[in-house]
Structure 1
Amino acid sequence: MSITESSSNYNNLDKMSVRELLDHINREDQSVPLAVQKALPQIEALVKEVVERMRQGGRLFYIGAGTSGRLGIVDASECPPTYGVPHDWVIGLIAGGDAAIRKAVEFAEDDEEGAWRDMEPYKPVPLDTVVGIAASGRTPYVIGGLRKAREAGLLTGSITCNPGSAVAAEAEYPVEVITGPEFVTGSTRMKAGTAQKLVLNMLSTSVMVQLGRVRGNKMVDMQLSNHKLVERGTRMIMDELGVEEEEAARLLQAHGSVRKAVDYYQKRDARD
Protein backbone atom coordinates (compact mmCIF):
# COMPACT_ATOMS: atom_id res chain seq x y z
CA MET A 1 0.00 0.00 0.00
CA SER A 2 1.28 3.49 -0.85
CA ILE A 3 2.24 5.89 1.94
CA THR A 4 -0.44 8.38 0.93
CA GLU A 5 -3.07 5.65 1.45
CA SER A 6 -1.71 4.45 4.79
CA SER A 7 -3.66 4.99 8.00
CA SER A 8 -3.66 8.43 9.60
CA ASN A 9 -1.43 9.06 12.60
CA TYR A 10 -4.59 10.20 14.40
CA ASN A 11 -7.70 8.27 15.39
CA ASN A 12 -11.16 9.10 16.68
CA LEU A 13 -11.30 12.29 14.63
CA ASP A 14 -15.06 12.35 15.05
CA LYS A 15 -14.60 12.69 18.82
CA MET A 16 -12.19 15.64 18.66
CA SER A 17 -13.17 19.22 19.41
CA VAL A 18 -12.89 21.81 16.65
CA ARG A 19 -9.71 23.20 18.23
CA GLU A 20 -8.17 19.73 18.47
CA LEU A 21 -8.92 19.12 14.79
CA LEU A 22 -7.38 22.43 13.80
CA ASP A 23 -4.29 21.93 15.96
CA HIS A 24 -3.61 18.47 14.56
CA ILE A 25 -4.20 19.48 10.93
CA ASN A 26 -1.89 22.46 11.39
CA ARG A 27 0.78 20.24 12.94
CA GLU A 28 0.65 17.92 9.95
CA ASP A 29 0.70 20.82 7.49
CA GLN A 30 3.92 22.14 9.00
CA SER A 31 5.74 19.03 7.79
CA VAL A 32 4.98 19.73 4.12
CA PRO A 33 7.54 22.50 3.39
CA LEU A 34 10.25 20.32 4.94
CA ALA A 35 9.30 17.47 2.61
CA VAL A 36 9.43 19.87 -0.35
CA GLN A 37 12.86 21.08 0.77
CA LYS A 38 14.25 17.58 0.42
CA ALA A 39 13.12 17.54 -3.21
CA LEU A 40 14.74 20.86 -4.19
CA PRO A 41 17.55 19.21 -6.23
CA GLN A 42 14.93 17.35 -8.28
CA ILE A 43 12.88 20.52 -8.78
CA GLU A 44 16.00 22.45 -9.81
CA ALA A 45 16.91 19.87 -12.44
CA LEU A 46 13.39 19.96 -13.91
CA VAL A 47 13.24 23.78 -13.97
CA LYS A 48 16.54 24.05 -15.85
CA GLU A 49 15.38 21.62 -18.52
CA VAL A 50 12.00 23.34 -18.93
CA VAL A 51 13.62 26.78 -19.26
CA GLU A 52 16.03 25.55 -21.93
CA ARG A 53 13.16 24.26 -24.07
CA MET A 54 10.82 27.18 -23.51
CA ARG A 55 13.56 29.59 -24.59
CA GLN A 56 13.46 27.78 -27.92
CA GLY A 57 9.69 28.02 -28.24
CA GLY A 58 8.53 24.97 -26.28
CA ARG A 59 5.47 24.84 -24.07
CA LEU A 60 4.73 23.37 -20.66
CA PHE A 61 1.86 20.89 -20.21
CA TYR A 62 0.47 19.68 -16.89
CA ILE A 63 -1.56 16.47 -16.85
CA GLY A 64 -3.40 15.06 -13.86
CA ALA A 65 -6.67 13.69 -12.48
CA GLY A 66 -8.86 14.94 -9.65
CA THR A 67 -7.14 17.30 -7.22
CA SER A 68 -3.82 16.92 -9.03
CA GLY A 69 -5.36 17.90 -12.35
CA ARG A 70 -7.14 20.88 -10.82
CA LEU A 71 -3.92 22.13 -9.24
CA GLY A 72 -2.19 21.97 -12.61
CA ILE A 73 -5.00 23.93 -14.24
CA VAL A 74 -4.88 26.58 -11.51
CA ASP A 75 -1.14 27.05 -11.96
CA ALA A 76 -1.38 27.18 -15.75
CA SER A 77 -4.30 29.61 -15.73
CA GLU A 78 -2.44 32.07 -13.49
CA CYS A 79 0.57 32.41 -15.80
CA PRO A 80 -1.00 34.69 -18.46
CA PRO A 81 -2.42 37.29 -16.05
CA THR A 82 0.63 37.22 -13.79
CA TYR A 83 3.38 37.23 -16.40
CA GLY A 84 1.64 38.45 -19.55
CA VAL A 85 2.47 35.27 -21.47
CA PRO A 86 0.27 33.73 -24.19
CA HIS A 87 -2.41 31.32 -22.99
CA ASP A 88 -0.76 28.43 -24.81
CA TRP A 89 2.60 28.70 -23.05
CA VAL A 90 1.48 26.72 -20.00
CA ILE A 91 -1.45 24.34 -20.48
CA GLY A 92 -3.26 22.36 -17.79
CA LEU A 93 -5.20 19.22 -18.73
CA ILE A 94 -7.40 17.14 -16.44
CA ALA A 95 -8.78 13.62 -16.89
CA GLY A 96 -12.40 13.95 -17.95
CA GLY A 97 -11.95 17.37 -19.55
CA ASP A 98 -13.04 20.76 -18.26
CA ALA A 99 -16.22 19.30 -16.77
CA ALA A 100 -14.02 17.48 -14.25
CA ILE A 101 -12.75 20.77 -12.83
CA ARG A 102 -15.98 21.14 -10.87
CA LYS A 103 -17.35 17.59 -10.76
CA ALA A 104 -15.54 14.27 -10.77
CA VAL A 105 -15.87 12.25 -13.98
CA GLU A 106 -16.08 8.56 -13.11
CA PHE A 107 -13.18 6.37 -14.27
CA ALA A 108 -11.65 9.15 -16.42
CA GLU A 109 -8.35 8.76 -14.58
CA ASP A 110 -8.21 5.08 -15.58
CA ASP A 111 -7.89 5.90 -19.31
CA GLU A 112 -4.22 5.44 -20.22
CA GLU A 113 -4.79 6.95 -23.68
CA GLY A 114 -6.72 9.95 -22.38
CA ALA A 115 -3.91 12.40 -21.63
CA TRP A 116 -2.21 12.07 -25.01
CA ARG A 117 -5.59 12.29 -26.71
CA ASP A 118 -6.25 15.51 -24.80
CA MET A 119 -2.86 16.86 -25.86
CA GLU A 120 -3.17 16.04 -29.55
CA PRO A 121 -5.26 19.13 -30.47
CA TYR A 122 -2.31 21.26 -29.29
CA LYS A 123 0.02 19.47 -31.76
CA PRO A 124 2.80 18.64 -29.24
CA VAL A 125 6.39 18.79 -30.48
CA PRO A 126 9.72 17.64 -28.99
CA LEU A 127 10.49 21.08 -27.54
CA ASP A 128 7.43 20.77 -25.29
CA THR A 129 7.50 19.47 -21.72
CA VAL A 130 4.86 17.34 -20.00
CA VAL A 131 4.70 17.26 -16.19
CA GLY A 132 2.49 14.52 -14.79
CA ILE A 133 0.93 15.30 -11.41
CA ALA A 134 -0.30 12.40 -9.27
CA ALA A 135 -0.13 12.17 -5.49
CA SER A 136 -0.41 8.39 -5.56
CA GLY A 137 2.00 8.02 -8.47
CA ARG A 138 -0.14 5.31 -10.04
CA THR A 139 -2.81 7.20 -12.05
CA PRO A 140 -3.19 5.52 -15.48
CA TYR A 141 -4.14 8.82 -17.19
CA VAL A 142 -0.80 10.29 -16.11
CA ILE A 143 1.29 7.15 -16.67
CA GLY A 144 -0.02 6.74 -20.21
CA GLY A 145 0.41 10.42 -21.01
CA LEU A 146 4.03 10.48 -19.91
CA ARG A 147 4.81 7.29 -21.78
CA LYS A 148 3.32 8.62 -25.03
CA ALA A 149 5.09 11.95 -24.56
CA ARG A 150 8.48 10.26 -24.16
CA GLU A 151 7.86 8.15 -27.24
CA ALA A 152 7.15 11.37 -29.15
CA GLY A 153 10.40 12.94 -27.92
CA LEU A 154 8.96 15.42 -25.42
CA LEU A 155 10.66 16.17 -22.12
CA THR A 156 8.84 14.52 -19.20
CA GLY A 157 8.67 15.40 -15.51
CA SER A 158 6.41 14.40 -12.65
CA ILE A 159 5.25 15.47 -9.18
CA THR A 160 4.33 12.60 -6.86
CA CYS A 161 4.06 11.97 -3.12
CA ASN A 162 5.03 8.28 -2.94
CA PRO A 163 8.55 6.91 -3.49
CA GLY A 164 9.40 4.71 -6.45
CA SER A 165 6.05 5.13 -8.20
CA ALA A 166 5.01 4.10 -11.70
CA VAL A 167 4.48 7.75 -12.64
CA ALA A 168 8.01 8.69 -11.55
CA ALA A 169 9.39 5.74 -13.53
CA GLU A 170 7.90 7.18 -16.73
CA ALA A 171 9.41 10.64 -16.16
CA GLU A 172 12.92 11.72 -17.04
CA TYR A 173 12.84 14.33 -14.27
CA PRO A 174 10.68 13.05 -11.41
CA VAL A 175 9.99 15.13 -8.32
CA GLU A 176 9.05 13.02 -5.30
CA VAL A 177 7.77 14.85 -2.22
CA ILE A 178 7.07 12.27 0.48
CA THR A 179 4.41 13.82 2.72
CA GLY A 180 3.39 10.69 4.68
CA PRO A 181 -0.08 9.64 5.83
CA GLU A 182 -2.90 12.17 5.57
CA PHE A 183 -4.80 13.49 8.59
CA VAL A 184 -7.93 11.93 7.12
CA THR A 185 -6.71 8.60 5.75
CA GLY A 186 -6.20 8.78 2.00
CA SER A 187 -7.39 12.39 1.60
CA THR A 188 -4.54 13.52 -0.62
CA ARG A 189 -6.14 16.90 -1.24
CA MET A 190 -4.60 17.78 2.15
CA LYS A 191 -0.83 17.42 2.67
CA ALA A 192 -0.09 15.90 -0.72
CA GLY A 193 -2.16 18.56 -2.47
CA THR A 194 -0.38 21.29 -0.52
CA ALA A 195 2.99 19.84 -1.51
CA GLN A 196 1.99 19.70 -5.17
CA LYS A 197 0.84 23.32 -5.05
CA LEU A 198 4.14 24.41 -3.52
CA VAL A 199 6.14 22.57 -6.17
CA LEU A 200 4.00 24.02 -8.97
CA ASN A 201 4.51 27.51 -7.52
CA MET A 202 8.27 26.93 -7.55
CA LEU A 203 8.29 25.45 -11.04
CA SER A 204 6.24 28.07 -12.89
CA THR A 205 7.65 31.04 -10.94
CA SER A 206 11.27 29.97 -11.45
CA VAL A 207 10.67 29.32 -15.13
CA MET A 208 9.03 32.71 -15.67
CA VAL A 209 11.79 34.54 -13.80
CA GLN A 210 14.41 32.75 -15.90
CA LEU A 211 12.51 33.68 -19.06
CA GLY A 212 12.72 37.36 -18.13
CA ARG A 213 9.11 37.84 -17.05
CA VAL A 214 10.10 39.43 -13.74
CA ARG A 215 12.21 42.57 -13.34
CA GLY A 216 13.80 42.99 -9.93
CA ASN A 217 11.00 41.51 -7.83
CA LYS A 218 8.05 42.78 -9.86
CA MET A 219 5.73 41.12 -12.42
CA VAL A 220 6.17 43.89 -14.96
CA ASP A 221 4.22 42.11 -17.71
CA MET A 222 1.06 41.38 -15.70
CA GLN A 223 -2.29 41.89 -17.39
CA LEU A 224 -4.09 45.01 -16.18
CA SER A 225 -7.44 43.25 -15.94
CA ASN A 226 -8.94 44.99 -12.91
CA HIS A 227 -8.61 48.13 -10.78
CA LYS A 228 -6.45 46.38 -8.18
CA LEU A 229 -3.87 45.41 -10.80
CA VAL A 230 -3.92 48.88 -12.37
CA GLU A 231 -3.20 50.33 -8.92
CA ARG A 232 -0.44 47.78 -8.38
CA GLY A 233 1.09 48.64 -11.74
CA THR A 234 0.95 52.34 -10.92
CA ARG A 235 2.79 51.74 -7.64
CA MET A 236 5.42 49.68 -9.45
CA ILE A 237 6.12 52.55 -11.83
CA MET A 238 6.25 55.03 -8.95
CA ASP A 239 8.77 52.84 -7.12
CA GLU A 240 10.88 52.20 -10.20
CA LEU A 241 11.00 55.73 -11.58
CA GLY A 242 10.43 57.89 -8.52
CA VAL A 243 7.55 59.75 -10.17
CA GLU A 244 4.28 60.92 -8.65
CA GLU A 245 1.13 58.80 -8.82
CA GLU A 246 -0.51 60.94 -11.51
CA GLU A 247 2.49 60.64 -13.81
CA ALA A 248 2.79 56.89 -13.17
CA ALA A 249 -0.89 56.32 -13.94
CA ARG A 250 -0.58 58.33 -17.16
CA LEU A 251 2.43 56.31 -18.27
CA LEU A 252 0.69 53.03 -17.50
CA GLN A 253 -2.43 54.00 -19.41
CA ALA A 254 -0.43 55.19 -22.39
CA HIS A 255 1.80 52.12 -22.70
CA GLY A 256 -0.36 49.29 -21.35
CA SER A 257 2.21 47.55 -19.17
CA VAL A 258 4.69 48.36 -16.43
CA ARG A 259 7.61 47.16 -18.54
CA LYS A 260 6.74 49.30 -21.56
CA ALA A 261 6.00 52.35 -19.42
CA VAL A 262 9.32 52.10 -17.55
CA ASP A 263 11.31 51.42 -20.73
CA TYR A 264 9.74 54.39 -22.51
CA TYR A 265 10.44 56.75 -19.61
CA GLN A 266 14.04 55.62 -19.19
CA LYS A 267 14.78 55.87 -22.93
CA ARG A 268 13.22 59.33 -23.02
CA ASP A 269 15.38 60.44 -20.11
CA ALA A 270 18.47 59.04 -21.81
CA ARG A 271 17.67 61.04 -24.95
CA ASP A 272 17.08 64.20 -22.96
Structure 2
Amino acid sequence: NDHRIKCLFGEHFSIPASHQDSEFRFAQFMVFYAPTFQYENPTLNEALDILDKKGQLLSSLLKELDNYWQTEIFPDDRVFQHNQIVHLHLFNILFCYYLFPKRVPTLFFLMNYFHKKKSSSYYYLKEHFTFFLNKLGRRHNYQWLSICCNDLAEIFAWLTLQCCEDNENSTKLQVSLVMETNYFFTQDIKNFLKDLSFIELKELSYEEIQPIDFLIVSSVHLMPKETDTSYYVVNFLEGKTDYVKLYLELKKAHENKKFRLLLKRPERKKLPSIKPQLFV
Protein backbone atom coordinates (compact mmCIF):
# COMPACT_ATOMS: atom_id res chain seq x y z
CA ASN A 1 0.00 0.00 0.00
CA ASP A 2 0.96 3.67 -0.16
CA HIS A 3 2.10 3.81 3.45
CA ARG A 4 4.39 0.81 2.99
CA ILE A 5 6.00 2.33 -0.11
CA LYS A 6 6.67 5.56 1.76
CA CYS A 7 8.28 3.60 4.58
CA LEU A 8 10.50 1.79 2.06
CA PHE A 9 11.86 5.17 0.95
CA GLY A 10 13.03 5.78 4.49
CA GLU A 11 14.34 2.26 5.08
CA HIS A 12 16.37 1.88 1.90
CA PHE A 13 17.22 5.42 0.78
CA SER A 14 17.47 7.40 4.04
CA ILE A 15 14.67 9.78 3.07
CA PRO A 16 13.39 11.66 6.16
CA ALA A 17 9.81 10.95 7.21
CA SER A 18 8.89 14.58 6.56
CA HIS A 19 9.90 14.17 2.90
CA GLN A 20 8.43 10.73 2.23
CA ASP A 21 4.99 11.94 1.21
CA SER A 22 6.34 14.47 -1.30
CA GLU A 23 8.80 11.90 -2.68
CA PHE A 24 6.00 9.38 -3.11
CA ARG A 25 3.69 11.83 -4.89
CA PHE A 26 6.52 13.00 -7.14
CA ALA A 27 7.26 9.36 -8.01
CA GLN A 28 3.60 8.73 -8.85
CA PHE A 29 3.53 11.81 -11.07
CA MET A 30 6.71 10.99 -12.99
CA VAL A 31 5.89 7.29 -13.43
CA PHE A 32 2.67 8.34 -15.14
CA TYR A 33 3.98 11.22 -17.24
CA ALA A 34 7.54 10.07 -17.90
CA PRO A 35 7.78 6.28 -17.72
CA THR A 36 11.14 4.58 -18.18
CA PHE A 37 11.39 2.00 -20.95
CA GLN A 38 13.60 -1.07 -20.81
CA TYR A 39 12.46 -2.98 -23.90
CA GLU A 40 10.80 -2.29 -27.22
CA ASN A 41 7.04 -1.88 -26.82
CA PRO A 42 4.15 -0.10 -28.61
CA THR A 43 4.40 2.87 -26.26
CA LEU A 44 7.77 3.71 -27.78
CA ASN A 45 6.17 4.59 -31.11
CA GLU A 46 3.73 6.98 -29.44
CA ALA A 47 6.56 8.71 -27.60
CA LEU A 48 8.65 8.91 -30.78
CA ASP A 49 5.77 10.65 -32.54
CA ILE A 50 6.02 13.39 -29.92
CA LEU A 51 9.78 13.63 -30.41
CA ASP A 52 9.46 13.95 -34.17
CA LYS A 53 7.00 16.87 -34.14
CA LYS A 54 8.53 20.07 -35.43
CA GLY A 55 9.08 22.81 -32.90
CA GLN A 56 9.50 20.49 -29.92
CA LEU A 57 12.07 22.14 -27.67
CA LEU A 58 13.33 18.93 -26.07
CA SER A 59 13.34 17.07 -29.37
CA SER A 60 15.60 19.76 -30.85
CA LEU A 61 17.90 19.44 -27.87
CA LEU A 62 18.24 15.69 -28.40
CA LYS A 63 18.98 16.20 -32.09
CA GLU A 64 21.79 18.57 -31.15
CA LEU A 65 23.02 15.99 -28.68
CA ASP A 66 23.10 13.37 -31.45
CA ASN A 67 25.22 15.69 -33.57
CA TYR A 68 27.54 16.42 -30.64
CA TRP A 69 27.92 12.70 -29.93
CA GLN A 70 28.94 12.00 -33.53
CA THR A 71 31.29 14.96 -33.89
CA GLU A 72 32.93 15.16 -30.46
CA ILE A 73 32.27 12.13 -28.26
CA PHE A 74 32.43 9.16 -30.69
CA PRO A 75 32.87 10.40 -34.27
CA ASP A 76 32.73 6.89 -35.74
CA ASP A 77 29.48 5.91 -34.03
CA ARG A 78 26.44 5.61 -36.31
CA VAL A 79 24.31 3.57 -33.90
CA PHE A 80 23.63 5.93 -31.01
CA GLN A 81 21.16 8.15 -32.86
CA HIS A 82 19.00 5.10 -33.63
CA ASN A 83 18.91 3.78 -30.05
CA GLN A 84 15.26 4.44 -29.20
CA ILE A 85 15.35 3.28 -25.60
CA VAL A 86 18.30 5.48 -24.62
CA HIS A 87 16.75 8.49 -26.36
CA LEU A 88 13.46 8.02 -24.53
CA HIS A 89 15.31 7.79 -21.23
CA LEU A 90 17.10 11.03 -22.06
CA PHE A 91 13.84 12.65 -23.13
CA ASN A 92 12.14 11.61 -19.88
CA ILE A 93 14.92 13.11 -17.79
CA LEU A 94 14.85 16.34 -19.80
CA PHE A 95 11.08 16.47 -19.44
CA CYS A 96 11.36 16.16 -15.66
CA TYR A 97 13.95 18.92 -15.39
CA TYR A 98 12.03 21.12 -17.81
CA LEU A 99 9.04 20.93 -15.46
CA PHE A 100 11.20 21.32 -12.35
CA PRO A 101 14.32 23.33 -13.34
CA LYS A 102 16.16 22.60 -10.09
CA ARG A 103 17.61 19.62 -8.31
CA VAL A 104 14.90 16.97 -8.35
CA PRO A 105 13.99 14.78 -5.35
CA THR A 106 16.18 11.99 -4.07
CA LEU A 107 14.39 9.34 -6.08
CA PHE A 108 15.96 10.49 -9.32
CA PHE A 109 19.47 9.85 -8.04
CA LEU A 110 19.02 6.17 -7.30
CA MET A 111 21.28 5.36 -10.25
CA ASN A 112 24.22 6.41 -8.08
CA TYR A 113 22.98 4.03 -5.41
CA PHE A 114 22.61 1.01 -7.66
CA HIS A 115 25.24 1.61 -10.32
CA LYS A 116 28.67 0.10 -10.50
CA LYS A 117 31.86 1.96 -9.71
CA LYS A 118 32.43 5.07 -11.78
CA SER A 119 34.87 4.34 -14.58
CA SER A 120 37.07 6.55 -16.73
CA SER A 121 34.39 6.24 -19.42
CA TYR A 122 31.82 7.72 -17.05
CA TYR A 123 34.01 10.73 -16.28
CA TYR A 124 34.76 11.13 -19.99
CA LEU A 125 31.04 11.30 -20.78
CA LYS A 126 30.22 13.56 -17.86
CA GLU A 127 32.90 16.07 -18.93
CA HIS A 128 31.49 16.21 -22.46
CA PHE A 129 27.87 16.49 -21.36
CA THR A 130 28.76 19.25 -18.90
CA PHE A 131 30.40 21.23 -21.71
CA PHE A 132 27.51 20.58 -24.10
CA LEU A 133 24.76 21.55 -21.64
CA ASN A 134 26.63 24.62 -20.38
CA LYS A 135 27.06 25.85 -23.94
CA LEU A 136 23.45 25.14 -24.85
CA GLY A 137 22.23 26.82 -21.65
CA ARG A 138 23.41 30.19 -22.99
CA ARG A 139 20.73 30.17 -25.66
CA HIS A 140 17.47 31.96 -25.00
CA ASN A 141 15.17 28.92 -25.08
CA TYR A 142 17.53 26.74 -23.05
CA GLN A 143 18.46 29.03 -20.18
CA TRP A 144 16.70 26.70 -17.76
CA LEU A 145 19.58 24.25 -18.32
CA SER A 146 21.89 26.51 -16.30
CA ILE A 147 19.98 25.48 -13.16
CA CYS A 148 20.46 21.75 -13.57
CA CYS A 149 23.47 21.35 -15.87
CA ASN A 150 25.60 19.34 -13.44
CA ASP A 151 22.75 17.04 -12.45
CA LEU A 152 21.79 16.40 -16.07
CA ALA A 153 25.40 15.74 -17.09
CA GLU A 154 25.70 13.13 -14.36
CA ILE A 155 22.47 11.35 -15.28
CA PHE A 156 23.21 11.54 -19.02
CA ALA A 157 26.59 9.93 -18.36
CA TRP A 158 24.94 7.00 -16.58
CA LEU A 159 22.26 6.58 -19.23
CA THR A 160 24.73 6.53 -22.13
CA LEU A 161 27.54 4.64 -20.39
CA GLN A 162 26.65 1.33 -22.04
CA CYS A 163 26.70 2.99 -25.47
CA CYS A 164 30.13 4.40 -24.65
CA GLU A 165 31.44 1.02 -23.50
CA ASP A 166 30.06 -0.66 -26.63
CA ASN A 167 32.03 1.82 -28.74
CA GLU A 168 35.17 1.23 -26.72
CA ASN A 169 34.80 -2.53 -27.06
CA SER A 170 34.74 -2.13 -30.82
CA THR A 171 38.38 -1.09 -30.44
CA LYS A 172 40.30 -4.32 -30.89
CA LEU A 173 43.52 -5.33 -29.17
CA GLN A 174 46.07 -6.10 -31.89
CA VAL A 175 47.79 -9.37 -30.92
CA SER A 176 50.64 -11.21 -32.65
CA LEU A 177 52.13 -14.65 -32.03
CA VAL A 178 55.91 -14.97 -31.91
CA MET A 179 56.82 -18.63 -31.57
CA GLU A 180 58.23 -21.69 -33.28
CA THR A 181 56.47 -22.59 -36.51
CA ASN A 182 54.79 -25.65 -35.10
CA TYR A 183 51.14 -26.18 -36.00
CA PHE A 184 50.26 -28.04 -32.82
CA PHE A 185 51.92 -25.37 -30.68
CA THR A 186 50.07 -22.47 -32.27
CA GLN A 187 46.66 -23.89 -33.19
CA ASP A 188 45.31 -24.08 -29.64
CA ILE A 189 46.36 -20.50 -28.96
CA LYS A 190 44.76 -19.27 -32.19
CA ASN A 191 41.50 -21.07 -31.43
CA PHE A 192 41.47 -19.52 -27.98
CA LEU A 193 42.02 -16.01 -29.36
CA LYS A 194 39.31 -16.40 -32.01
CA ASP A 195 36.74 -16.76 -29.23
CA LEU A 196 37.69 -13.39 -27.71
CA SER A 197 35.63 -10.63 -29.31
CA PHE A 198 38.05 -7.86 -28.29
CA ILE A 199 41.07 -9.50 -29.97
CA GLU A 200 42.34 -9.11 -33.53
CA LEU A 201 45.12 -11.51 -34.46
CA LYS A 202 47.73 -10.01 -36.78
CA GLU A 203 50.94 -11.25 -38.34
CA LEU A 204 54.04 -9.58 -36.95
CA SER A 205 56.23 -7.95 -39.58
CA TYR A 206 59.84 -7.08 -38.81
CA GLU A 207 60.02 -4.86 -41.88
CA GLU A 208 56.90 -2.74 -41.48
CA ILE A 209 55.88 -0.74 -38.44
CA GLN A 210 52.54 -2.09 -37.24
CA PRO A 211 50.34 -1.07 -34.30
CA ILE A 212 50.77 -4.29 -32.34
CA ASP A 213 49.46 -3.99 -28.77
CA PHE A 214 50.33 -7.39 -27.33
CA LEU A 215 52.69 -10.27 -28.08
CA ILE A 216 52.32 -13.94 -27.18
CA VAL A 217 55.73 -15.59 -27.32
CA SER A 218 57.09 -19.05 -26.66
CA SER A 219 60.38 -17.62 -25.40
CA VAL A 220 61.63 -14.20 -24.32
CA HIS A 221 64.53 -14.73 -26.73
CA LEU A 222 62.06 -14.42 -29.62
CA MET A 223 60.97 -10.95 -28.56
CA PRO A 224 61.71 -8.21 -31.11
CA LYS A 225 64.57 -5.97 -30.05
CA GLU A 226 63.90 -2.52 -28.63
CA THR A 227 60.19 -3.00 -28.04
CA ASP A 228 58.11 -2.04 -25.03
CA THR A 229 55.05 -3.98 -26.19
CA SER A 230 53.29 -6.00 -23.49
CA TYR A 231 53.80 -9.74 -23.84
CA TYR A 232 52.97 -13.14 -22.37
CA VAL A 233 55.27 -16.16 -22.43
CA VAL A 234 53.73 -19.55 -23.20
CA ASN A 235 55.82 -22.56 -22.20
CA PHE A 236 54.69 -25.37 -24.49
CA LEU A 237 57.21 -27.80 -23.03
CA GLU A 238 55.21 -28.00 -19.82
CA GLY A 239 52.33 -29.45 -21.78
CA LYS A 240 49.70 -26.95 -20.66
CA THR A 241 48.85 -23.28 -20.99
CA ASP A 242 47.30 -21.15 -18.25
CA TYR A 243 44.51 -19.69 -20.37
CA VAL A 244 42.89 -17.95 -17.42
CA LYS A 245 46.06 -16.00 -16.72
CA LEU A 246 46.51 -15.26 -20.43
CA TYR A 247 42.94 -13.98 -20.65
CA LEU A 248 43.45 -11.68 -17.67
CA GLU A 249 46.63 -10.28 -19.20
CA LEU A 250 44.88 -9.66 -22.52
CA LYS A 251 41.91 -8.05 -20.81
CA LYS A 252 44.19 -5.78 -18.80
CA ALA A 253 46.04 -4.71 -21.96
CA HIS A 254 42.72 -4.02 -23.68
CA GLU A 255 41.47 -1.85 -20.81
CA ASN A 256 44.75 0.08 -20.85
CA LYS A 257 44.42 0.66 -24.59
CA LYS A 258 40.87 1.98 -24.22
CA PHE A 259 41.99 4.28 -21.43
CA ARG A 260 44.87 5.64 -23.53
CA LEU A 261 42.47 6.35 -26.39
CA LEU A 262 40.23 8.32 -24.04
CA LEU A 263 43.21 10.37 -22.87
CA LYS A 264 44.20 11.15 -26.46
CA ARG A 265 40.84 12.72 -27.24
CA PRO A 266 40.95 16.52 -27.18
CA GLU A 267 39.89 18.11 -23.90
CA ARG A 268 36.78 20.23 -23.83
CA LYS A 269 37.37 23.95 -23.62
CA LYS A 270 36.06 25.49 -20.41
CA LEU A 271 33.27 28.00 -20.78
CA PRO A 272 33.22 31.12 -18.61
CA SER A 273 31.03 30.56 -15.57
CA ILE A 274 27.65 32.22 -15.31
CA LYS A 275 25.40 32.68 -12.32
CA PRO A 276 22.37 30.36 -12.54
CA GLN A 277 18.96 32.03 -12.62
CA LEU A 278 15.56 30.48 -12.16
CA PHE A 279 13.38 30.90 -15.25
CA VAL A 280 9.67 30.40 -14.89
Q: State the TM-score, normalizing by the size of structure 1.
A: 0.26
Q: State the TM-score, normalizing by the size of structure 2.
A: 0.25
Higher relative contact order (CA 8 A, sep 6+): 1
User: If each structure's helix is expressed as a fraction of its own residues, which one has the higher value?
Assistant: 2
